[in-house]
Structure formats: structure tokens, C-alpha cells
Amino acid sequence: MKRFLFIPALCFAFITYAQEKIDVDAIGKIKKEGLENSQVEQIAFELIDKAGPRLSNSAGYERAAQYAINQLTEWGLENAQKEEWGEFGRGWEVNKSYVAMTKPYYMPFIAIPKAWTESTDGPVSGKVVFVEINNEEDFEKYRGKLKGAIVAFKPRGDQSPTFKADALRYTEEDLNEMAEPRTERRQWTEDEIAAFRKRREFSNTLNTFLTEEGVALIIKGVNGKHGTLFTSSPRGYRMDTPEGASELEMAPEHVNLMARLTANGVEVEVEAEVKTTFNTEDLQGYNVVAEIPGSDPDLKDEIVMLGGHLDSWHGGTGATDNGAGCIVMMEAVRILQTTGLQPKRTVRIALWGGEEQGIFGSRNYVKNHFGDSETMALKPEHSKVSAYYNIDNGTGRIRGIYLQGNEKVGPIFEEWFKPYEDIMENTTITLRNTGGTDHLGFDAIGIPGFQFIQDPVEYWSRTHHTNMDTYERLVIDDLKQIATIVAGFVYNTAMREEMLPREERETESTD
């Protein structure tokens, strides 16, 4: 049974927890709007089902961006727009993708064109040739033998049955462990880095070889199981990327089937067609930004930011990565607008582009507006940002927050979580850093940037960069909880007498 907390009107608008003022009446309004009148389902439909996959610089990304701009404007936010962050590269679309085994019997296969892959030369069909190339010496076994061939690579990993749940909630023990500082942080060794670079270089060399040999199609078995396949490794999206062979990333079970048949002397044939198009007219990358202007003349030039990345991979519709983050951040600003609360500082939402290819949208936004993390040369607006809040760990409900080593904000957040104890449990505030997403650019130049701790649900097992990242993978009640808590944190940050405390950094100011 769900328990919603509604705070009755009090004689005093504020109560104080450990010297931190909390507007209980305002938080009550936020909770009531977010939990009783939520619009996360409608936002989810528009961003996920209607816009479709949102690969960077694709038509789907453009549809989602335009929806967000129109919706944020309709809610009353100001300056809603697409903002260039710099050159990204070519746009790319899948127009057709089909593959099936036709011999020894007919079977349709699950496969996704590799991002930014070229088209096949019309429909192709023929015998599947399994190749095993682990080093450049192996090229000689196949040189001159692959022209027009459909070549396949077996998957790695284990596709056998699993005996634990795909969907997980953090236990109390998990959260207690996360609250403890890491005794030792795993670092990549120089040998590991060198080995990674060598593998990447060899992968490029292999693709060049196969293209020069004139293969008709590449089929690669990728990580996954039970019909879920992980597809996120792109061909080049830059304008100077050389043309390559068309490539499909296929469910490992289907590649294994063809491999077993072939190994036992049974000839395997497939038919396939891949049609893709490239957009080279606009190479710029874009973020979506909008604002709720601050109501206090003395504080409105200070900023509280919140966001998530709008781009996704193309195998599914990007529901949990990171439609969920954009849904709840849009819902959070809607809550603030609908309740009529007037934050003293300006609230700025940002929906980032290019995250999946290297956190480009947010890092370049930070560089363009606030400062360069490489030189630590800072711009005047750097001093005006109180905090940035990010969501990018799927659909799971908030269970706490990572402080990114900013010890001073811990007691503040502890008090801010207290009004939400009825919709949270085992709240964890940890000094640990977490990486891989858009708060990093802010943190790198000393702006307090935070990622919330979320239940993993199916993020790592089923949805992160997969063909199954669809609307059905969203937990709607979890999204309501996230949006409600984020709205409260943003509001509290915008209403504090002072900006949130920062870690000390060596910086250089610039005009």
C-alpha cells in the first residue's frame, strides 16, 4: 500500500533541521502535484513512443527536441530552444533492416544495424562464412576469398540460462556498503590501457580489411541473451570516416545456431537487406535548454540546473537510457510551474545531446558557459551556478545520492531527504564518486554536480544499450517518486540563502 504524505498548513512556514531551512508547505505542494497529478506517462509517450530512437543527430532526436521545446514553452518556461554545443558529425537513419536464415530452413533473426553502418548493395543472399581473425597474420587465411561473402563472427560470453532475477532493488546491505568510502579505487593500469588501444586499433584494421576484400555483409554476434542484444559500438560518425561494409549486430543465440550448423557440416544461407542514409547538411550537435526565471531580483542571476541526456541508442526507443532521466526532469520543472512556487534563483533544465558518444553535449556546454576543465580557466557565469542535478541510471526509484567527494553538502542533503521518508527507505548519502554521465563536466570545474542513487531494476541486465529498452521497461511509480524528489531538491537549492558549498579547486578566472 502506498502512503502519500500531505503536510497540513502550519503557523510557521519553515521548520529547521540542523540549521537548514525547509519550506514544508512548498514541499507538501510538490509532493501532492508529483504523486497525484503526475504527467510522466504522457511525457514518456511523447519522448519514447512518438519520437522513437534518438540517436545523436538523427530525425528521432530532432523530434524529441522539438517536442521538449514546445512542451516546456507551453508550461511557461522561458528561452526554450536548441543550443549548439559544437560539431558532432553525420546524422544517420535506418530505413530498412531485414535478415533471415533461408537454409537449411527459414528462420527470421533478431539483429540491429551497427550505428552509422552503410547500406548493403540491395538485397544480398548466400552462404554464411564464419571467420576467426585474431591478429594480422590471420588475414592471409582469407585474403582474396571473401568478395561478395556474408561473413559472421561468433559471440563471446555465456548465453546459458540464468538463475537470478533480471530486475533488482538495492537491499539495505547494498546501500550500507555504498555508504562506506571505498578503501581502494580500481584504476586502469598502463598495460590495460595499452591493450585496450591495441584492440581498438585492430578492430579498425579488421574493418578496413573486410571492406577492401569486398564482403557483402558482416554479421557479428554480440553480448546478450533471451532475445536481448546489446548494441552500442558505432562506426565512425565524423565526416572523414572512410566507407565500410554494411554490418549487423545479431542476437548471440542466432549466431550460435548458424555456427553449430556450420561446424557440423550443414550449409547455412541467409538473406538480408540494410538501407541507411546519412545526413551531412547539419553537423552541429545540440542540447535543449529552458528556464524558470528567478523571482528574487538579487538572486535571479544565480542558477540551479537539472538535466539528463536526450540522445539514445537506436536498437530500442531509449526508454531507460535515458528517456527516464529526461521524463523526470521535465516533470520536475512542470511541478514547480504548476504549483505556482517561485524559486528565487533561476532554474535551468538541460536535455543533453551526444552523451552516448562521449558525454559531448554537457561537457561542451560547460566549456562554452562556465570554464575549461583542462586549463581551469573559468568564465564569470561559473560563480553563479549553485548546483547541477542529473538522472541517468534508468527507471529505478531514488535511494540516495552521490556527493562526488563534496563532504560539506552531506548534512544539507540529509535534511532535504527527510520530508520524503514516506516514499523512500534506507536513504544513502555517500561521499563516493560515480561516473559515466553528464554531471562529470560540472564536477570537473568545481561546480557541485550530483547523480542520484537509483535502484538498478533491469538497467544492466535488460535495457542499457539494448533492443529491449522500450516503454514497457519503465516503472511509472518510480518515475513519479524521482520527479517529486528532484523537484524538491531543485526548489530547496533555489531558495537557500546561500549557494551550495563547493570543494576548493585551483582555478584561473577569465573574462
The answer to whether 406 and 489 have CB atoms below 8 angstroms apart is no
Based on the number of CB atoms within 10 Å of its own CB, is 85 exposed (0-12), middle (13-18) or buried (19 or more)?
buried
User: Does residue 155 have a cis bond before it (omega within 30 degrees)?
Assistant: no
Instruction: List pLDDT tens digits, range 300-312.
Output: 999 999 999 999 9
CA proximity to 468, closest of 325, 248, 320, 257: 320
Supply the pTM of this predicted model: 0.94
Q: Which is it for strands 284-292 and 346-352: parallel, antiparallel or unpaired?
A: antiparallel
Average pLDDT for consecutive 10-residue bins of the chain (511 residues)? 30 47 96 98 98 98 98 98 98 97 98 97 98 94 97 94 94 93 73 86 92 97 96 89 95 98 98 97 98 98 98 98 98 98 98 98 98 97 98 98 97 97 95 96 98 98 97 98 98 98 73 56
Q: Fill in the DSSP letter of residue 376.
A: T
Question: Could you report how far apart the first and last alpha carbons of the chain are, in Å?
Answer: 56
Cell of 384: 553563479
Across-strand partners of 171?
none
Contacts of 231 (CB under 8 A, 6+ apart): 112, 114, 115, 222, 249, 313, 314, 315, 465, 466, 467
Q: Give the H or E element holding residue 175.
A: helix 172-179
Q: Which is it for strands 303-309 and 346-352: parallel, antiparallel or unpaired?
A: parallel
Query: What is the side-by-side strand order in the sheet with 377-378?
Result: 371-372, 377-378, 508-509
Ordered DSSP codes for 88-148:
---EEEEEEEEEEEEESS-EE--EEEPTTPPPPSSSEEEEEEE----SGGGHHHHTTS-TT
The answer to whether 361 and 355 have CB atoms below 8 angstroms apart is yes
Q: What is the pLDDT of residue 323?
A: 98
Query: What is the sign, positive or negative, of the torsion defined by CA atoms of 219, 222, 226, 230?
Result: negative
The answer to whether 487 and 329 have CB atoms below 8 angstroms apart is no
Based on the number of CB atoms within 10 Å of its own CB, is 129 exposed (0-12), middle (13-18) or buried (19 or more)?
middle
User: Does residue 322 have a cis bond before it (omega within 30 degrees)?
Assistant: yes
Based on the number of CB atoms within 10 Å of its own CB, is 145 exposed (0-12), middle (13-18) or buried (19 or more)?
exposed
CA proximity to 232, closest of 39, 395, 8, 466: 466
Rg (CA), the chain: 25
**Which residue in this structure is represented by grid cell 520543472?**
333
Q: What is the pLDDT of residue 10?
A: 29
Cell of 354: 551526444
The answer to whether 235 and 102 have CB atoms below 8 angstroms apart is no
Q: What is the pLDDT of residue 510?
A: 62
| Residues 97, 274: Cα–Cα separation, whole Å | 5
The answer to whether 142 and 213 have CB atoms below 8 angstroms apart is yes
Cell of 50: 512518438
